[in-house]
Structure 1
């Protein structure tokens, strides 16, 4: 891994999932700044599409500079043509 020297060099994006007591599943989109571990996005919804993911990232970039790198796993969430 690369040693980071400042904020906004790299962000990590991943999804978490869980279920409510009634069994309905939900997802959480997490975007973290790798340098200071600041949580930039925690979006909770029943389903998070590629369109919604891109929309949230665009909203974030309005308030913060774009990172040099975005780190993701190779999960199916990131295979969308929109992303």
Structure 2
């Protein structure tokens, strides 16, 4: 806009008409001051209470006497780049470390089981629980060692 006015030496009103924008949009000056105090307070809260999100920060600011909107706090929160880390769900029971499987050395040493689902030609479904002695399976499938 300034370039247009400088090169062609036309008024602001004429330049706005050419660019098809409202003159009030060009001359608008924000009345809102800097939010340095508010952003500083948000940083302080987030530094001391790491797990608080913008909603909780909004409540604390209201208790401190700030007349703020939660959407405004959310916008400032995003501008400051403050974000919560996604919580990793805690396991209720500690996972047991599984030992590596050792090959079976004799019969009845280790067994394996699994459900098998199938459907007959008539459409009837069947479920079978297969239980296998891994030592005998190794002998029959792989041959003697």
TM-score clears 0.5: no
Q: Which has the higher contact order (CA 8 A, sep 6+)?
A: 1
- In proportion to residue count, which structure has more helix? 2
TM-score by length of 1: 0.41
TM-score by length of 2: 0.24
Larger Rg computed on CA atoms: 2
